[in-house]
Structure 1
């Protein structure tokens, strides 16, 4: 769980204009989850299904400036699946992204 949170927080800080993030724990009707929410630029809907693919970057030129290899979410996805958990990503351009890990 530590590696998941470190990767998600690092991504949130990297892609948030103001550097503001929220980390929390909540539950829906059936499952508990923890989440990391940022106030960044968000991800276009057409790219959401690709998040978590190894080496995928929404904007490769910007990612080079900020560093990273495109492996952070892929590692998170792998750990989540290994535990039998689920990952959900919601994003809205101009408003930010939230990643939820259901356990």
Structure 2
């Protein structure tokens, strides 16, 4: 969510949704209509210290660790993280999570 807000234009929107995926899983989606990411950069997004914007011209800097940490946490839970993006249109980052035993009894 932070990246979506930080790297989008002022008039862009960021939406978060949580949906049932299968009986014991949910999917969390963070979707925006911001700048989007060029296809050539997508395979490296989750690498430590990797930043798409190398110019340093952003008001808000970053270490390039955020998405790497997110991926590490998600994978530590034996789950998956995904990204889809169209440059100039927007991006969607999503990840799966297992429901707790209590939430599957509903």
Query: TM-score scaled to structure 2, two decimals?
Result: 0.80
Residue of structure 1 equivalent to 2:40: 46
Distance 1:35 1:63 in 2: 28
Residue of structure 1 equivalent to 2:7: 15
Partner deviation per Cα, 1:8-54 (whole Å, 9 max, x = no partner): x1111001112410000124467520011112111111111101100
Residue 65 of structure 1 and its aligned partner are, at CA, apart by: 3.4
Distance 1:63 1:87 in 2: 28
| Conserved? CA contact 1:57–1:63, under 8 Å | no
Q: Which runs of 5+ in 1 are unaligned?
A: 1-8
Query: Pairwise mapping of residues 28-67 of structure 1 onto structure 2 (< 5 A)?
Result: 28=21, 31-62=25-56, 64-67=58-61
- What CA RMSD, in Å, does the superposition of the two structures yield over aligned residues? 1.8
Query: TM-score scaled to structure 1, two decimals?
Result: 0.82
Q: Which runs of 5+ in 2 are unaligned?
A: 98-106
Secondary structure of the residue that 2:4 maps to in structure 1? Answer: helix
Q: Which of the residues 65, 68, 75 maps onto 2:69?
A: 75
The total of aligned residue pairs comes to 95
TM superposition outliers: structure 1 runs of 4+ over 4 Å? 28-31
Larger helix proportion, structure 1 or 2? 1
